[in-house]
Structure 1
Amino acid sequence: MRNFEKPTRSVAVSARAMAATSHPCATLTAINILQAGGNAMDAAIAACAVQCVVEPGSTGIGGDCFALYAPSGKAEVIAYNGSGRTPKALTIDWFEERGLTEVPRQSPSAVTIPGAIDAWTRLHADHGRLPFADVLAPAIRYAEQGYAITPRVHRDWQKEEEFLATDKAAAEIFLPNGRAPRIGEIHRQPKLAATLRRIAVEGRDGFYKGAVAADMVAHLKAHGGLHTLEDFAVAKGEYVTPVTTSFRGHTIHECPPNGQGIIALLILNILACFDNKLAPQSPDRLHLEIEATRLAYAARDAWIADPAKAHVPIDELLSEDFARDLAARIDLARALTELPDFEMPLHRDTVYISIVDEDRNAVSFINSIFDSFGTGLVAPESGVILHNRGQSFSLERGHPNMIAPEKRPLHTIIPGMVTRDGRTEMSFGVMGGYYQAMGHAHLISKVVDYDMDMQDAIDLPRLIPVGGKVPRVEAEHTMPAETVAELTRRGFEIVPADDPIGGAQVIRIDWENGTLTGASESRKDGIALGF
């Protein structure tokens, strides 16, 4: 049980249904949809659409989406990969001819064809209950009538003022009066409202064909992009088979590559090689989590790619032998200095949504434009922010994740689901770009290994390795000084994190009592609510 004298908050508890998101408007929207007769999928899409309006730095309809869905709370989990592919004409030669060694952020070459709207429309058609127009109506209302700026949204928005000013359309929409809106001010996006109305009526064709697609393609081409209307017209996601591992009697489900969910499972497999007698936030335990993450991320950067375009050794990554081999490298007396090469993990912007309805349908739903405001390129007539997911590609020839035509990049966004004894136990997710795999393992370990209150587990100080072979670790300022000192003594270079690390939402089903318990990220503006 939480310490009620500490400045935290209780988990949410309800009997019928629950929603947890990173924005109050999105959570309330989900609850309203559920009370109006919608199911968990309706509520998740509605909440996400609202966040695409009220959290424009974190997500948008010009981004990508992944989802896990457990109908009726059963153990058979459905996965959908809504990540986009590169334009057909984009090759690595294009970058080499220009002397580029990485994909630039504010460039059309960073824009894969957005997969979110395809995912929403497909998931709604297959699993939703309410009319699609009703699901999008709250987002349209916020975009037309306006929404009040919340504290974390303002903080993230203000940091991107200079960046947004470089694109005329972005500046017109997102820098009214030449600056980011302040806390409590009202902001409107009428162009995005019109686009959402078109999608509400026409479905996916309202985005991937016609005026909206033409607007996006024209803007990309004006900046030197190789996108075509055909690239948009043929874009589609797909249902995929989740990857799983067993952790202390629980089955953890993740979307398979090209996402990094399998790396969360690898971290858990490494942690499973050790007992859980270490105190949950002790230097020994944090040392173990850091090294498990560094080793797993090395494997990620070596192998994770689009399995339709490259071989991804899924069975090897999930094997007990591989986890044991990596675990044997960890020395709790000192930081590892010998690791395979891997790039520095970065913090990115995403929204994660967890919903469970009264029929115990559970949805784990995540939507992202990668960096804050993505590329910073905004289609001028439709108001669509274009993401920069293509930055996750490698420009090294022969690398499995090398950029290529019609290919999906290594993806950071990963919804999670936990089942046990034939039923769904938790719908969970952690935001924060490359942190997400570590975040998944950290959260599940704290809840499962230590029976920790979910909100307490979310509120714990966080850290993330960022140095590759150099054992450099970013830590939030709330990490105890004595812990930082001990990790430093062991050879880790601890540096302050520039931003709060990640964010999380989780809902747990109590089958015995017939109730739901939810928690939402204290580093964001959101909340978990139920009824």
Structure 2
Amino acid sequence: MFDSLNFPYPSKRVPIYAKKGMIATSNPLASQIGVDILKKGGNAVDAAVAVAASLTVLEPTSNGIGGDAFAIVYKDGKIYGLNASGYAPRNLTVEKLKSKGYEKIPAHSWESVTVPGAPAAWATLSKEFGELPLEALLEPAIDYANEGFPVSPVTAKSWKNAFNLYKKELKEEISKAWFDVFAPEGRAPGVGEIWSSKLHAQTLESIAESSANSFYNGKLAEKIVEFSNKTGGYISKEDLEDYEPIWVEPLSVNYRGYDVWELPPNGQGIIVLMALNILKEFHFQCKEYSESYHKQIEALKLAFADGLKYITDINNMKVKIEDLLSEEYGNKRRKLIGKEALLPEAGDPYSGGTVYFATADEYGNMVSYIQSNYMGFGSGIVIPDTGISLQNRGVSFSLNEEDNNCLKPLKRPYHTIIPGFLTKDGNAIGPFGVMGGYMQPQGHLQFLMNFIDFNLNPQAALDAPRWQWIKEKEIIVEKAFPTYILETLENKGHKIKVSLNSSEFGRGQFIYRNDEGVLIGGTEPRADSNIACF
């Protein structure tokens, strides 16, 4: 089925095969929770909700109860998109921030906090598609929060890095609750050390019992608003009461017979689709990997230039999505790719710290889900007596009123987290994703080309070394890249730097369902990732 023999760095790992259910996550305990839910009669959506809630406890370095979420759901032969990202508070304006002397939004502050969407995502998915009650889905997360769990290696490393950063930068009283919850011993927990949080457990219980109503219109909401008012925040009672996730129509382009699905803006998934539209007319030969990478990088740069200029809350976009994804515009951008690296500029279509996981059940239902606080733990603000760590997604807003992504009250910012999904001939292939800030569309593109163009199996497609475009002609690559490929790219004008930090290249998962209904999973070698199945 797959052939990686001609690939310059074949994987030594093999994919996982199963029949009845499969969960691929960045944490082994979370993967097992998903399988346990399936065995109790839950479906892939139930498993996704349970895993999402558990990861706020098991991997708080990457997401939390106060973060955002997006999901693509394949249920009963239909595909659905959920945007559970939050908007800017009513009281947060450009004028107010400029009057305080800000030229950009600081990362670790109330100014960067948008309304959290993750709890609403869990309740909405459970109500719409779930088989089990929300209380049953959040029970494993509550148990781990109460009883504690041994911290895994990659999470421990991220925790230590965050602690060192916050200890240096967060000096105000507003940050005291973060240290109380996440560094109760005056340091980050080490590898294998047991960490627990009764506050997380109590908050998750409240969310489960109220179907998240307590978070937006109850006791938890009151605590969030009270702390906001006390410490100079912006979130109001009305901001929380009025929040709802939105169901959206996923976008797709056809690439070599596969339909690649991403969610529409305010997420950056459209960058993946624009890059594929540019690449689809190129024909890559088996041994021309250097040329393939050159074209991948150039297509991605062009797509990113457009994305960074145009992507914002879909209600505020100044261009039409269908124009950005048109064949005509893809052809126009493709003509800009030559033999040398270019400096990317946005075109004009009108002229001439995140967790990702995938779930699948035996009935054909599948979920591609991503959840984040942004920048690790997020803003560094934790609501006292709750364990709720608030995201800092608002840092993506611009304070330049000429920019599409300029801050406005009740506006959703440019969002980096994106779930992906593959279908072919109307049938589900499976969920995929690669987390990691602006690496995400780059990781999606590289994974898709490894799987589709180079015919790698799900595990090999994730194992292959990755590159990341930084800016202009600057590219960082993993050390496994063969020297001859790097030399060829440098000769084409790319400025290459080899990075030894694997965390810079994202963390992905993929579940593939073949024609016989067998589930074939690949998981990320750069994290504490695991596939649980039966």
Q: Same fold (TM over 0.5)?
A: yes
Q: Measure the CA separation in 2 of the matches of 1:304 and 1:383.
A: 32
Task: Please point out which of 487, 496, 501 is paired with 1:485.
Answer: 487
For the Cα contact (< 8 Å) 2:354–2:374, is it kept in 1? yes
- Cα distance change on mapping 1:271 and 1:6 into 2, 3 Å: closer
- Cα distance change on mapping 1:293 and 1:404 into 2, 3 Å: same
Task: Please point out which of 114, 118, 140 is paired with 1:138.
Answer: 140
Secondary structure at the residue paired with 2:315? coil
| Aligned twin of 2:361 | 357
Per the TM alignment, residue 316 of structure 1 is displaced from its structure 2 partner at its CA by 1.2
Is 1:415–2:419 an aligned residue pair?
yes
Q: Measure the CA separation in 1 of the matches of 2:270 and 2:159.
A: 32
| Aligned twin of 2:274 | 266
Per the TM alignment, residue 201 of structure 1 is displaced from its structure 2 partner at its CA by 0.6
Q: Measure the CA separation in 2 of the matches of 1:482 and 1:101.
A: 44
Per the TM alignment, residue 209 of structure 1 is displaced from its structure 2 partner at its CA by 2.2
Q: How does 1:3-402 map to 2 (within 5 A)?
A: 8-72=12-76, 74=77, 76-165=78-167, 166=170, 167-277=175-285, 279=287, 282-332=289-339, 334-337=340-343, 339-340=345-346, 349-402=353-406
Q: Measure the CA separation in 1 of the matches of 2:345 and 2:246.
A: 35
- 1:124-180, Cα deviation, whole Å (9 max, x unpaired): 101000111000000000100001111110111111113333221111111132111
For the Cα contact (< 8 Å) 1:86–1:405, is it kept in 2? yes
Structure 2: gaps spanning 5 or more residues: 348-352
For the Cα contact (< 8 Å) 1:111–1:388, is it kept in 2? yes
Q: Measure the CA separation in 1 of the matches of 2:316 and 2:65.
A: 26
**What is the one-letter code of the residue matched to 1:524?**
A
Q: How does 1:423-434 map to 2 (within 5 A)?
A: 423-434=427-438
Percent sequence identity over matched residues? 37
Q: Measure the CA separation in 1 of the matches of 2:132 and 2:375.
A: 32
| Aligned twin of 1:344 | none
Q: Measure the CA separation in 2 of the matches of 1:524 and 1:21.
A: 9
State TM-score, norm by structure 1: 0.94
Per the TM alignment, residue 376 of structure 1 is displaced from its structure 2 partner at its CA by 1.2
For the Cα contact (< 8 Å) 1:518–1:529, is it kept in 2? no
Q: Measure the CA separation in 1 of the matches of 2:181 and 2:215.
A: 19
| Aligned twin of 2:520 | 517
Secondary structure at the residue paired with 1:77? strand
**What is the one-letter code of the residue matched to 2:520?**
T
For the Cα contact (< 8 Å) 2:355–2:371, is it kept in 1? yes
Q: Measure the CA separation in 2 of the matches of 1:153 and 1:120.
A: 23
Per the TM alignment, residue 499 of structure 1 is displaced from its structure 2 partner at its CA by 4.5
Instruction: Report the RMSD for the aligned CA atoms in angstroms.
Output: 1.7
Per the TM alignment, residue 220 of structure 1 is displaced from its structure 2 partner at its CA by 3.0
Secondary structure at the residue paired with 1:370? coil
Secondary structure at the residue paired with 1:396? coil
Per the TM alignment, residue 386 of structure 1 is displaced from its structure 2 partner at its CA by 0.5
| Aligned twin of 2:496 | 494
**What is the one-letter code of the residue matched to 2:102?**
L
| Aligned twin of 1:526 | 529
Q: Measure the CA separation in 1 of the matches of 2:512 and 2:287.
A: 23
For the Cα contact (< 8 Å) 1:267–1:438, is it kept in 2? no
Q: Measure the CA separation in 2 of the matches of 1:411 and 1:474.
A: 23
Q: Measure the CA separation in 1 of the matches of 2:165 and 2:154.
A: 18
**What is the one-letter code of the residue matched to 2:223?**
D
Q: Measure the CA separation in 2 of the matches of 1:220 and 1:275.
A: 55
Q: Measure the CA separation in 1 of the matches of 2:495 and 2:20.
A: 47
**What is the one-letter code of the residue matched to 1:386?**
L
Secondary structure at the residue paired with 1:519? strand
For the Cα contact (< 8 Å) 2:302–2:344, is it kept in 1? no
Per the TM alignment, residue 7 of structure 1 is displaced from its structure 2 partner at its CA by 7.4
Is 1:446–2:450 an aligned residue pair?
yes
Per the TM alignment, residue 398 of structure 1 is displaced from its structure 2 partner at its CA by 2.3
Deviates further, 419-428 or 405-414: 419-428
For the Cα contact (< 8 Å) 2:71–2:368, is it kept in 1? yes
Structure 1: gaps spanning 5 or more residues: 342-348
For the Cα contact (< 8 Å) 2:4–2:456, is it kept in 1? no
For the Cα contact (< 8 Å) 1:304–1:400, is it kept in 2? yes
Q: Measure the CA separation in 2 of the matches of 1:159 and 1:479.
A: 27
**What is the one-letter code of the residue matched to 2:462?**
I
Per the TM alignment, residue 477 of structure 1 is displaced from its structure 2 partner at its CA by 2.4
Task: Please point out which of 405, 410, 431 is paired with 1:406.
Answer: 410
**What is the one-letter code of the residue matched to 2:442?**
M
For the Cα contact (< 8 Å) 2:24–2:357, is it kept in 1? yes
Per the TM alignment, residue 339 of structure 1 is displaced from its structure 2 partner at its CA by 2.7
State TM-score, norm by structure 2: 0.93
